[in-house]
Amino acid sequence: MIPAEDVKIRARELGFEKVGIARVGALPRSDFFRSWLASEFHGDMGYMARDPDRRVDAATSLPGAKSVVCVAKNYHTLARPPAAASTGVISRYAWGEDYHQVLADRLDALKAYLESRGARAKRCVDTSPVLEKLWAREAGLGWQGKHSNVISKDLSSWLFLGEVLTDAELAPDPPFRKDHCGTCARCIDVCPTRAIVAPYVVDSRKCIAYLTIEHRGPIPRELRPLMGNLIFGCDLCQDVCPWNKFAKVSPEAEFYPRDGLLAPKLAEFLGMTREEFARRFRGSPIRRATRDGFLRNVCVALGNSGDSRAVPALARALEDEAPLVRRHAAWALGRLGARSELERRWPEEGDPRVREEIQAALTDAS
Protein backbone atom coordinates (compact mmCIF):
# COMPACT_ATOMS: atom_id res chain seq x y z
CA MET A 1 0.00 0.00 0.00
CA ILE A 2 1.34 3.42 -0.94
CA PRO A 3 1.21 5.92 1.94
CA ALA A 4 -1.02 8.85 0.98
CA GLU A 5 1.45 11.27 2.56
CA ASP A 6 4.17 10.12 0.17
CA VAL A 7 1.92 10.97 -2.78
CA LYS A 8 1.17 14.38 -1.30
CA ILE A 9 4.82 15.14 -0.72
CA ARG A 10 5.60 14.29 -4.33
CA ALA A 11 2.71 16.48 -5.56
CA ARG A 12 4.02 19.42 -3.55
CA GLU A 13 7.53 18.83 -4.87
CA LEU A 14 6.04 19.17 -8.36
CA GLY A 15 4.72 22.62 -7.46
CA PHE A 16 1.09 21.98 -6.59
CA GLU A 17 0.06 24.21 -3.70
CA LYS A 18 -2.82 22.00 -2.62
CA VAL A 19 -3.33 18.25 -2.83
CA GLY A 20 -6.06 16.00 -1.46
CA ILE A 21 -7.32 12.50 -2.02
CA ALA A 22 -10.86 11.22 -2.54
CA ARG A 23 -12.12 7.67 -2.72
CA VAL A 24 -13.69 6.59 -6.01
CA GLY A 25 -17.40 5.92 -5.60
CA ALA A 26 -20.73 7.66 -5.76
CA LEU A 27 -20.04 11.35 -6.36
CA PRO A 28 -22.19 13.65 -4.20
CA ARG A 29 -24.07 16.36 -6.12
CA SER A 30 -23.70 14.52 -9.42
CA ASP A 31 -27.47 14.81 -9.70
CA PHE A 32 -26.94 18.57 -9.99
CA PHE A 33 -24.83 17.98 -13.10
CA ARG A 34 -27.64 16.00 -14.69
CA SER A 35 -30.24 18.68 -13.92
CA TRP A 36 -27.86 21.35 -15.27
CA LEU A 37 -27.65 19.43 -18.54
CA ALA A 38 -31.42 18.95 -18.61
CA SER A 39 -31.82 22.74 -18.38
CA GLU A 40 -29.51 23.04 -21.42
CA PHE A 41 -27.23 25.36 -19.48
CA HIS A 42 -24.26 23.80 -21.29
CA GLY A 43 -25.20 25.63 -24.50
CA ASP A 44 -23.18 24.51 -27.51
CA MET A 45 -20.82 22.39 -25.40
CA GLY A 46 -22.26 19.13 -26.66
CA TYR A 47 -19.30 17.20 -25.28
CA MET A 48 -20.60 17.92 -21.77
CA ALA A 49 -23.84 16.07 -22.50
CA ARG A 50 -22.16 13.19 -24.32
CA ASP A 51 -22.22 10.13 -22.05
CA PRO A 52 -22.85 11.91 -18.72
CA ASP A 53 -22.51 8.59 -16.85
CA ARG A 54 -18.84 8.58 -17.78
CA ARG A 55 -18.33 12.02 -16.26
CA VAL A 56 -20.04 11.03 -13.04
CA ASP A 57 -18.15 7.74 -12.60
CA ALA A 58 -14.38 8.24 -12.48
CA ALA A 59 -13.83 4.48 -12.78
CA THR A 60 -14.94 4.61 -16.41
CA SER A 61 -11.81 6.63 -17.20
CA LEU A 62 -9.60 4.12 -15.40
CA PRO A 63 -11.23 0.74 -14.77
CA GLY A 64 -10.39 -0.45 -11.30
CA ALA A 65 -9.65 3.06 -10.00
CA LYS A 66 -9.91 3.35 -6.24
CA SER A 67 -8.57 6.87 -5.55
CA VAL A 68 -8.58 10.33 -7.09
CA VAL A 69 -5.56 12.48 -6.29
CA CYS A 70 -6.76 16.08 -6.69
CA VAL A 71 -4.34 18.98 -7.01
CA ALA A 72 -4.64 22.75 -7.30
CA LYS A 73 -2.18 25.19 -8.86
CA ASN A 74 -2.26 28.90 -8.07
CA TYR A 75 -2.20 31.15 -11.16
CA HIS A 76 -2.69 34.56 -9.55
CA THR A 77 -0.01 36.93 -10.86
CA LEU A 78 -0.32 40.68 -11.40
CA ALA A 79 -3.01 43.19 -10.55
CA ARG A 80 -5.10 44.03 -13.59
CA PRO A 81 -4.33 47.52 -14.93
CA PRO A 82 -7.14 50.06 -15.41
CA ALA A 83 -8.84 49.41 -18.75
CA ALA A 84 -9.07 52.12 -21.39
CA ALA A 85 -11.83 52.17 -24.00
CA SER A 86 -9.41 51.19 -26.75
CA THR A 87 -7.95 48.20 -24.89
CA GLY A 88 -9.32 44.73 -24.31
CA VAL A 89 -9.60 42.56 -21.23
CA ILE A 90 -8.37 38.97 -21.25
CA SER A 91 -9.05 36.53 -18.45
CA ARG A 92 -6.12 36.06 -16.08
CA TYR A 93 -5.79 32.38 -16.82
CA ALA A 94 -4.96 33.17 -20.46
CA TRP A 95 -2.30 35.81 -19.85
CA GLY A 96 0.54 33.32 -20.01
CA GLU A 97 1.22 29.87 -21.37
CA ASP A 98 -1.48 27.25 -21.87
CA TYR A 99 -2.14 25.82 -18.43
CA HIS A 100 -3.23 22.49 -19.93
CA GLN A 101 0.35 21.73 -20.90
CA VAL A 102 1.87 23.18 -17.72
CA LEU A 103 -0.38 21.01 -15.57
CA ALA A 104 -0.17 17.96 -17.84
CA ASP A 105 3.61 17.83 -17.56
CA ARG A 106 3.49 17.87 -13.76
CA LEU A 107 0.56 15.47 -13.55
CA ASP A 108 2.44 13.09 -15.81
CA ALA A 109 5.31 13.22 -13.34
CA LEU A 110 2.91 12.44 -10.48
CA LYS A 111 1.43 9.60 -12.54
CA ALA A 112 4.92 8.25 -13.16
CA TYR A 113 5.62 8.35 -9.43
CA LEU A 114 2.54 6.23 -8.68
CA GLU A 115 3.47 3.81 -11.44
CA SER A 116 6.98 3.49 -10.02
CA ARG A 117 5.32 2.32 -6.81
CA GLY A 118 3.43 -0.41 -8.67
CA ALA A 119 0.10 1.36 -9.24
CA ARG A 120 -1.81 2.02 -12.41
CA ALA A 121 -2.64 5.69 -12.97
CA LYS A 122 -4.16 8.16 -15.42
CA ARG A 123 -3.81 11.93 -15.35
CA CYS A 124 -6.64 14.33 -16.11
CA VAL A 125 -6.91 18.03 -16.82
CA ASP A 126 -10.15 19.86 -17.59
CA THR A 127 -10.39 18.36 -21.08
CA SER A 128 -10.94 14.93 -19.51
CA PRO A 129 -14.46 13.62 -18.72
CA VAL A 130 -14.06 14.13 -14.98
CA LEU A 131 -16.15 16.49 -12.83
CA GLU A 132 -13.07 18.11 -11.37
CA LYS A 133 -14.79 20.72 -9.20
CA LEU A 134 -16.86 18.08 -7.41
CA TRP A 135 -13.81 15.85 -6.92
CA ALA A 136 -11.80 18.79 -5.57
CA ARG A 137 -14.54 19.30 -3.00
CA GLU A 138 -14.54 15.59 -2.11
CA ALA A 139 -10.76 15.70 -1.68
CA GLY A 140 -11.01 18.63 0.74
CA LEU A 141 -9.44 21.32 -1.45
CA GLY A 142 -12.27 23.82 -1.03
CA TRP A 143 -15.92 24.51 -1.72
CA GLN A 144 -17.78 25.64 -4.82
CA GLY A 145 -18.70 29.29 -4.54
CA LYS A 146 -21.91 30.81 -5.82
CA HIS A 147 -20.09 31.53 -9.08
CA SER A 148 -19.47 27.73 -9.28
CA ASN A 149 -15.66 27.99 -9.06
CA VAL A 150 -13.75 26.19 -6.33
CA ILE A 151 -12.61 28.49 -3.53
CA SER A 152 -9.78 27.73 -1.14
CA LYS A 153 -9.75 29.68 2.12
CA ASP A 154 -6.00 30.18 1.95
CA LEU A 155 -5.43 30.36 -1.82
CA SER A 156 -8.57 32.06 -3.21
CA SER A 157 -10.30 30.90 -6.40
CA TRP A 158 -7.47 31.64 -8.83
CA LEU A 159 -6.79 27.92 -9.13
CA PHE A 160 -6.18 25.40 -11.87
CA LEU A 161 -7.38 21.92 -10.97
CA GLY A 162 -6.04 18.55 -12.03
CA GLU A 163 -6.42 14.91 -11.08
CA VAL A 164 -4.61 11.59 -11.20
CA LEU A 165 -6.82 8.52 -11.06
CA THR A 166 -5.15 5.45 -9.61
CA ASP A 167 -5.97 1.90 -8.61
CA ALA A 168 -3.87 2.44 -5.47
CA GLU A 169 -6.00 2.47 -2.36
CA LEU A 170 -4.91 5.73 -0.75
CA ALA A 171 -6.20 7.07 2.54
CA PRO A 172 -8.82 9.74 1.66
CA ASP A 173 -9.05 13.24 3.09
CA PRO A 174 -12.20 14.61 4.70
CA PRO A 175 -14.48 16.21 2.09
CA PHE A 176 -14.95 19.98 2.26
CA ARG A 177 -18.60 20.19 3.24
CA LYS A 178 -18.87 23.69 4.69
CA ASP A 179 -19.92 26.59 2.48
CA HIS A 180 -18.15 29.84 3.38
CA CYS A 181 -20.02 32.13 0.97
CA GLY A 182 -22.66 32.94 3.57
CA THR A 183 -25.09 35.66 2.48
CA CYS A 184 -22.59 37.24 0.07
CA ALA A 185 -23.94 37.64 -3.47
CA ARG A 186 -21.31 39.91 -5.02
CA CYS A 187 -20.53 37.48 -7.83
CA ILE A 188 -24.21 37.23 -8.72
CA ASP A 189 -24.73 40.97 -8.62
CA VAL A 190 -21.66 41.88 -10.70
CA CYS A 191 -22.41 39.57 -13.64
CA PRO A 192 -23.43 41.87 -16.54
CA THR A 193 -25.44 39.22 -18.37
CA ARG A 194 -27.01 37.67 -15.25
CA ALA A 195 -25.48 34.32 -16.15
CA ILE A 196 -25.52 33.16 -12.51
CA VAL A 197 -29.23 32.39 -12.60
CA ALA A 198 -29.27 31.14 -8.99
CA PRO A 199 -26.58 30.65 -6.36
CA TYR A 200 -24.14 28.00 -7.65
CA VAL A 201 -25.97 27.73 -11.00
CA VAL A 202 -24.41 29.22 -14.17
CA ASP A 203 -26.28 29.34 -17.47
CA SER A 204 -23.37 29.07 -19.88
CA ARG A 205 -25.45 30.53 -22.70
CA LYS A 206 -25.29 33.89 -20.93
CA CYS A 207 -21.78 33.60 -19.49
CA ILE A 208 -19.25 35.93 -21.13
CA ALA A 209 -16.49 33.35 -20.68
CA TYR A 210 -18.53 30.83 -22.65
CA LEU A 211 -19.63 33.37 -25.26
CA THR A 212 -16.09 34.55 -25.96
CA ILE A 213 -14.38 31.15 -25.88
CA GLU A 214 -16.61 28.11 -26.39
CA HIS A 215 -19.43 29.59 -28.45
CA ARG A 216 -18.78 29.32 -32.17
CA GLY A 217 -21.66 31.31 -33.62
CA PRO A 218 -22.85 34.91 -33.43
CA ILE A 219 -23.17 36.44 -29.99
CA PRO A 220 -26.83 37.29 -29.28
CA ARG A 221 -27.39 40.97 -29.99
CA GLU A 222 -29.02 41.63 -26.65
CA LEU A 223 -25.88 40.42 -24.86
CA ARG A 224 -23.29 42.29 -26.93
CA PRO A 225 -23.67 45.70 -25.21
CA LEU A 226 -23.26 43.98 -21.83
CA MET A 227 -19.85 42.54 -22.68
CA GLY A 228 -17.92 45.79 -22.49
CA ASN A 229 -14.32 45.24 -23.58
CA LEU A 230 -14.08 41.59 -22.49
CA ILE A 231 -12.54 39.73 -25.42
CA PHE A 232 -11.50 36.38 -23.92
CA GLY A 233 -13.09 35.17 -20.72
CA CYS A 234 -14.34 37.43 -17.97
CA ASP A 235 -13.21 37.06 -14.28
CA LEU A 236 -15.67 39.66 -12.95
CA CYS A 237 -17.28 37.18 -10.58
CA GLN A 238 -13.87 36.29 -9.16
CA ASP A 239 -12.59 39.87 -9.07
CA VAL A 240 -15.28 40.81 -6.53
CA CYS A 241 -15.06 37.67 -4.38
CA PRO A 242 -14.02 38.66 -0.83
CA TRP A 243 -12.02 35.46 -0.44
CA ASN A 244 -9.71 36.56 -3.24
CA LYS A 245 -8.19 39.25 -1.05
CA PHE A 246 -6.19 36.36 0.41
CA ALA A 247 -4.75 35.44 -2.98
CA LYS A 248 -1.04 34.71 -3.00
CA VAL A 249 1.23 35.45 -5.96
CA SER A 250 2.05 32.44 -8.10
CA PRO A 251 5.74 31.57 -8.41
CA GLU A 252 5.22 30.15 -11.91
CA ALA A 253 6.78 32.24 -14.69
CA GLU A 254 4.57 30.47 -17.26
CA PHE A 255 1.46 32.17 -15.86
CA TYR A 256 2.75 35.75 -16.09
CA PRO A 257 1.45 37.87 -18.98
CA ARG A 258 2.90 37.56 -22.43
CA ASP A 259 3.84 40.80 -24.12
CA GLY A 260 0.76 42.66 -25.29
CA LEU A 261 -1.85 40.65 -23.39
CA LEU A 262 -2.22 42.63 -20.16
CA ALA A 263 -3.99 45.59 -21.81
CA PRO A 264 -4.00 44.83 -25.55
CA LYS A 265 -4.96 47.49 -28.08
CA LEU A 266 -8.11 46.21 -29.69
CA ALA A 267 -7.78 47.66 -33.18
CA GLU A 268 -4.40 46.00 -33.66
CA PHE A 269 -5.99 42.54 -33.56
CA LEU A 270 -8.29 43.17 -36.50
CA GLY A 271 -6.92 42.08 -39.84
CA MET A 272 -4.91 39.18 -38.44
CA THR A 273 -4.71 36.32 -40.92
CA ARG A 274 -5.18 32.77 -39.75
CA GLU A 275 -1.44 32.25 -39.93
CA GLU A 276 -0.75 35.38 -37.90
CA PHE A 277 -3.31 34.35 -35.27
CA ALA A 278 -1.78 30.88 -34.99
CA ARG A 279 1.73 32.32 -34.72
CA ARG A 280 0.88 35.04 -32.21
CA PHE A 281 -1.06 32.72 -29.90
CA ARG A 282 0.98 29.57 -30.24
CA GLY A 283 1.05 27.90 -26.83
CA SER A 284 -1.69 30.21 -25.52
CA PRO A 285 -5.20 29.28 -24.31
CA ILE A 286 -6.51 32.03 -26.60
CA ARG A 287 -6.24 29.67 -29.56
CA ARG A 288 -9.30 27.92 -28.12
CA ALA A 289 -11.52 30.77 -29.33
CA THR A 290 -10.31 30.33 -32.95
CA ARG A 291 -9.25 33.24 -35.11
CA ASP A 292 -12.79 34.07 -36.25
CA GLY A 293 -14.27 33.85 -32.76
CA PHE A 294 -11.55 36.02 -31.28
CA LEU A 295 -11.95 38.74 -33.92
CA ARG A 296 -15.73 38.55 -33.39
CA ASN A 297 -15.09 39.36 -29.72
CA VAL A 298 -12.77 42.24 -30.63
CA CYS A 299 -15.42 43.76 -32.91
CA VAL A 300 -17.97 43.66 -30.09
CA ALA A 301 -15.54 45.33 -27.70
CA LEU A 302 -14.79 48.09 -30.22
CA GLY A 303 -18.51 48.61 -30.75
CA ASN A 304 -18.85 49.10 -27.00
CA SER A 305 -15.86 51.43 -26.80
CA GLY A 306 -17.61 54.57 -28.05
CA ASP A 307 -14.31 55.42 -29.75
CA SER A 308 -14.76 56.68 -33.31
CA ARG A 309 -11.06 56.10 -33.95
CA ALA A 310 -11.96 52.39 -34.24
CA VAL A 311 -14.06 52.99 -37.38
CA PRO A 312 -11.25 52.46 -39.97
CA ALA A 313 -10.21 49.14 -38.43
CA LEU A 314 -13.83 48.00 -38.24
CA ALA A 315 -14.43 49.07 -41.82
CA ARG A 316 -11.59 46.79 -42.88
CA ALA A 317 -13.07 44.00 -40.74
CA LEU A 318 -16.34 44.48 -42.64
CA GLU A 319 -14.48 42.99 -45.60
CA ASP A 320 -12.98 40.09 -43.64
CA GLU A 321 -13.06 36.64 -45.23
CA ALA A 322 -15.15 35.28 -42.34
CA PRO A 323 -18.88 36.12 -42.31
CA LEU A 324 -18.84 35.80 -38.52
CA VAL A 325 -16.33 38.66 -38.27
CA ARG A 326 -18.19 40.78 -40.83
CA ARG A 327 -21.46 40.37 -38.91
CA HIS A 328 -20.00 41.72 -35.70
CA ALA A 329 -18.02 44.43 -37.46
CA ALA A 330 -21.32 45.65 -38.93
CA TRP A 331 -22.91 45.72 -35.49
CA ALA A 332 -19.95 47.63 -34.07
CA LEU A 333 -20.02 50.20 -36.87
CA GLY A 334 -23.70 50.73 -36.21
CA ARG A 335 -22.95 51.34 -32.53
CA LEU A 336 -20.38 53.93 -33.52
CA GLY A 337 -22.74 55.63 -35.98
CA ALA A 338 -20.61 54.86 -39.05
CA ARG A 339 -23.45 54.81 -41.59
CA SER A 340 -21.26 55.58 -44.58
CA GLU A 341 -19.13 52.47 -44.07
CA LEU A 342 -22.21 50.30 -43.74
CA GLU A 343 -23.83 51.81 -46.83
CA ARG A 344 -20.62 51.32 -48.79
CA ARG A 345 -20.49 47.63 -47.96
CA TRP A 346 -24.19 46.88 -48.44
CA PRO A 347 -24.23 46.41 -52.25
CA GLU A 348 -21.09 44.25 -52.17
CA GLU A 349 -22.17 41.89 -49.38
CA GLY A 350 -23.37 38.51 -50.60
CA ASP A 351 -23.98 36.68 -47.31
CA PRO A 352 -27.64 37.07 -46.25
CA ARG A 353 -26.79 36.89 -42.55
CA VAL A 354 -24.25 39.68 -42.86
CA ARG A 355 -26.70 41.75 -44.93
CA GLU A 356 -29.25 41.35 -42.16
CA GLU A 357 -26.69 42.59 -39.62
CA ILE A 358 -25.86 45.57 -41.83
CA GLN A 359 -29.52 46.43 -42.17
CA ALA A 360 -30.02 46.21 -38.40
CA ALA A 361 -26.87 48.29 -37.85
CA LEU A 362 -28.08 50.97 -40.28
CA THR A 363 -31.29 51.18 -38.28
CA ASP A 364 -29.29 51.52 -35.05
CA ALA A 365 -27.04 54.17 -36.61
CA SER A 366 -29.93 56.32 -37.87
pLDDT tens-digit readout, 308-353: 999 999 999 999 999 999 999 999 999 999 999 999 999 999 999 9
Residue 79 in this model has a pLDDT that exceeds 90: no
The residues that bridge with 21 in the sheet, in sequence order, are 69
CATH 1.25.10.10 in the chain is located at 265-366
pLDDT (0 to 100) of residue 326? 98
* Residue 269 zone, left/alpha/beta (φ > 0; ψ -120 to 50; rest): alpha
pLDDT (0 to 100) of residue 343? 96
CA distance 171 to 68: 10
Could you tell me which residue, 207 or 79, shows the higher pLDDT? 207
Cβ atoms of 314 and 361 within 8 Å: the answer is: no
Q: What is the pTM of this model?
A: 0.95
| pLDDT category of residue 129 using cuts at 50, 70 and 90 | confident
| pLDDT category of residue 257 using cuts at 50, 70 and 90 | very high
Residue 365 in this model has a pLDDT that exceeds 80: no
Closest CA to 313 of 280, 270, 256: 270
DSSP type of residue 265: B
Q: Identify the active-site residue in 31, 108, 126, 235.
A: 126
Residue 223 in this model has a pLDDT that exceeds 90: yes
Per-residue pLDDT, averaged over 89-104, amounts to 95
pLDDT (0 to 100) of residue 253? 94
CATH 3.40.109 in the chain is located at 4-77+96-166
Residue 366 in this model has a pLDDT that exceeds 70: no
pLDDT (0 to 100) of residue 126? 82
Strand pairing report for 67-74 and 121-124 = unpaired
Residue 47 in this model has a pLDDT that exceeds 90: no
Residue 179 in this model has a pLDDT that exceeds 80: yes
pLDDT (0 to 100) of residue 54? 80
- Alpha carbons within 13 angstroms on the beta-carbon side of residue 78 total 17
Residue 145 in this model has a pLDDT that exceeds 90: yes
CATH code reported for the domain at 265-366: 1.25.10.10
Residue 59 in this model has a pLDDT that exceeds 90: no
| pLDDT category of residue 363 using cuts at 50, 70 and 90 | confident
E-assigned strands of the chain?
Answer: 18-23, 67-74, 89-90, 121-124, 143-144, 150-151, 159-166, 196-198, 201-202, 230-232
Cβ atoms of 317 and 326 within 8 Å: the answer is: yes
126: annotated active-site residue: yes
- How far is Cα of residue 270 from the mean position of the Cα atoms in its chain? 22
Residue 83 in this model has a pLDDT that exceeds 80: no
CATH code reported for the domain at 4-77+96-166: 3.40.109
Cβ atoms of 351 and 323 within 8 Å: the answer is: yes
pLDDT (0 to 100) of residue 1? 82
Determine what percent of the chain is predicted with pLDDT higher than 70. 99
The residues that bridge with 143 in the sheet, in sequence order, are 151
Count of CB atoms situated within 10 Å of the CB of 309:
12
Cβ atoms of 159 and 59 within 8 Å: the answer is: no
CA distance 329 to 270: 10
CA distance 131 to 129: 7
CA distance 344 to 365: 14
